Chains A and B, each alone.
Chain A
Amino acid sequence: MIILRPAKISDISNLERLANDSGPMVSSLPAKRSHLLNKVEQSITSFEQDVDCAGEESYLFVLEEALTGQMLGTGAVNALAGNREPFYSFRNDIKVHSSRQLNVHSRIHALTLNHDLSDHSQLCSFYIVPALVETDYPALITLGRLLFMTIFPLRFANEWMAVLPGIADESGRAPFWEHVGRKFFGIDYNQVEYYNGTLNSTFISEMMPYHPLYVALIDEEAQAVMGLVHQNAVLQCSLLSEQGFEADKHVEIFDAGPILTAPRNALSLCQKVQQVKLSAINDIATNKCLQTFLIGLAEGNSFKACLVQAFLQGNKLLLSQENIELLNITPEHRVFCIKL
């Protein structure tokens, strides 16, 4: 059984390997051991703390084959996107320039560096091994985190968001970076993404434009990729979109990838999740109508999630005796489910 669970110190080596594989696309998962160690320690502390207001917590989950201990993916949630330092994005504003005398009225788009999203909770560090991309497990990582956030609402803000990777080719050339960021930094895209994952955001305020960038003046190749998602993240994008996340006015500052946002209460998962009791299936007929459910198990401050074949009957979720045993349920567990 593959489960999504909080990361532990003993995961460091495996995490480092995954981070290496994930490449520069996942800037919040840089392949730097000391950084990963901090991330795991911060996550452990975050889970242990009793939190009644979103703050500096960051929760790191790993996707693991429970039997073999093989690590298959990662996903994290920052309680606030910008806690000790601002979270920067470009906001695509419309400026109206009008002159009655000249009978001209034009709407001009301009990208403004801002930190409006700092007080959003942020999904980040999503990665899954290539072999599982075509399965339901990406949904486990993403929806599992949303379920966690739903079950522990005090730990998170009311507005959530996720930054998706934008367009870049295999050599690490991102058109938006070439025509925008490079003018200010003079370095390669991979390099800046590495800095972004490992340094605090002071360098962004030092290096990025203070003044709004008029979109019309940006090279057309870069304009064309604004708000477009990298093909590797299309799945992630559609998972979030199905839940009610929307790409609104914000794009990522380096590659102009979309930033999806949603108010918690608008998310379909938050509306449909229900608390259930688990029971073993005891007739064959039920066996034939099994559906895939995401279940989340909360015990104290801890949480894990997995996918099961089950049948919902009132507030009872019926699943095989074998699965129930694998889940290792204790009476203290609260169980939540949602049909995929």
Chain B
Amino acid sequence: MMLIRPIQREDLPALLELAAKTGSGFTSLPHNEGHLELRIERMIATWEGKSTIADQGYLFALVDSESQRLVGVSGIEVAIGLNDPWYDFHVGTQVHASKELGIYRQMKKLSLSNDHTGNSELCTLFLDPEYRKDKNGQLLSKSRLLFVAAFKDKFPDRIIAEMRGVSDKHGRSPFWESLGRHFFTLDFEQADYLTGIGSKSFIAELMPKHALYVDFLTQAAQQVIADVHPNTEPARRILESEGMRYEGYVDIFDAGPTLEAYTQDLRIVRKSRMRQVTIIETALLDEQALLIGNENYQDFRAIICNSQVDAIHIYLTQAEADALAVVSGEQLRVVPLFEKESTL
């Protein structure tokens, strides 16, 4: 069975191994032991209630319960931009019009913004390629939202996710080539790596401070604004189905879209319900896949299961209850895995 649990110190070697598989273009899980160790410590300090909001973050491990192997991670930063500034470009409109000349034109412009300061961020989602099947990606991504639903008071009222933008097979981003390249002498992969290890604000110091007219970028760059890399398309669809959407902010390097939502509007926050655990001998399976999580902050667990539910109970096998670290009579948070499925 695949389950989600908080990251632990013992996960470091496995995490490092996983990071080696990410390849280029994945900024937030750099293959760098010191960096990953610090990341784990910061997450643990958050769970132990020892860090200020600026440093708080959660990292979840996807584990195969049979082999105990760590095969994926996903994270949430609680409040971004409170230590180093958080930058993105706001894609805005400027109207140039003259009644006297009878001219009216809308110009798109990009303005460097810190508008997401203090928002939560869904980040660092990576799944071992061998495990990209059986709804594992869904579990990895959506269990975070279930965690938010369970512990709403730990999070600010807005949440974002940055989507990777378009780049070619050589790692060249048309947006970077048309814009970032002019402002300093790094190439896109270097810039991307520095971003991953937390140097994004250094880079942003070099970026244009004034609004930019989109018309001055190359056609290729204009076309990829707010587009995602084909590999990121599934991740985008998952988050959009959960109520997140593009609202006019893009990454300053590759122009990938920022998806955002009020946390209270997320489907999982609105639709998840509490059910009491009843242990049964043999699984009673239903058609509907459910995302199920416990309410234990320190030892959060989540699984996907087609368990039967009624108005009060959820019926689990002992193995499922063990995976969720609950005993009979405890409350679990339950939500249909997919938006289109019926509500509880």
Contacts and interface: CB of A to CB of B under 8 A. Distances in A.
B212 A211 contact: yes
A101 B202 contact: yes
A199 B202 contact: no
Given A97-B206, A102-B184, A102-B206, A210 B216 contact: no
A104 B103 contact: no
A185 B101 CA distance: 9
A101 B101 contact: no
B185 A104 contact: yes
A183 B98 contact: no
B184 A106 contact: yes
A207 B96 contact: yes
Given A95-B209, A209-B213, A184 B96 contact: yes
Interface string A176-209: 0000000111110000000100010011001111
A94 interface: no
B205 A183 contact: no
Nearest to B202: A101
A211 to B, nearest CB: 4
Given A97-B205, A99-B205, A199-B100, A186 B216 contact: no
Report whether over half of chain A's contact residues are helix, strand or loop; otherwise say mixed.
Answer: mixed
Interface string B250-294: 000000000000000000000000000000000000000000000
B179 interface: yes
B213 A102 contact: no
Contacts of A146: none
A102 B202 contact: yes
Contacts, number: 92
Contacts of A106: 183-185, 206
Contact of B183 (A108, A185, A202, A209): A108
A153 interface: no
Contact of A97 (B94, B183, B186, B217): B183
Contacts of A87: none
A212 B334 CA distance: 53
Interface residues of A, number: 31
Contact of A211 (B207, B210, B215): B210
Given A186-B103, A186-B105, A187-B103, A211 B213 contact: yes
Contacts of A280: none
Instruction: Assign chain B's interface to a size class.
Output: 20 to 34
B107 interface: yes
Given A97-B183, A185-B103, A206-B96, A211 B202 contact: no
B213 A99 contact: no
A216 interface: yes
Contacts of A282: none
A101 B94 CA distance: 35
Contacts of A217: 178-179, 182, 212, 216-217
B199 interface: yes
Contacts of B208: 108, 214
B202 A99 contact: yes
A265 interface: no
A317 to B, nearest CB: 51
Nearest to A112: B210
A108 B183 CA distance: 7
A213 interface: yes
B206 A211 contact: no
Contacts of A110: 210
Contacts of A209: 213
A98 B205 contact: yes
Nearest to A203: B98
A323 to B, nearest CB: 50
A218 B105 CA distance: 19
Nearest to A206: B98
Given A199-B100, A202-B100, A206-B98, A213 B105 contact: no
A210 B94 contact: yes
A213 B183 contact: no
Contacts of B183: 97, 106, 108, 216
A102 B199 CA distance: 9
B211 A195 contact: no
Given A95-B209, A183-B215, A212-B210, A207 B186 contact: no
Contacts of A97: 183-184, 205-207
B203 interface: yes
B96 to A, nearest CB: 5
Contacts of B203: 99, 102
Nearest to A191: B101
A207 B100 CA distance: 11
Contacts of B216: 183, 213-214, 217-218
Nearest to A211: B211
11 contacts: A99-B184, A102-B186, A104-B185, A104-B206, A106-B185, A183-B216, A195-B101, A206-B98, A207-B101, A211-B213, A214-B210
Given A108-B208, A206-B96, 4 more contacts: A97-B183, A199-B101, A217-B178, A218-B216
| Closest 3 A/B residue pairs (Cβ) | A216-B182, A211-B211, A217-B216
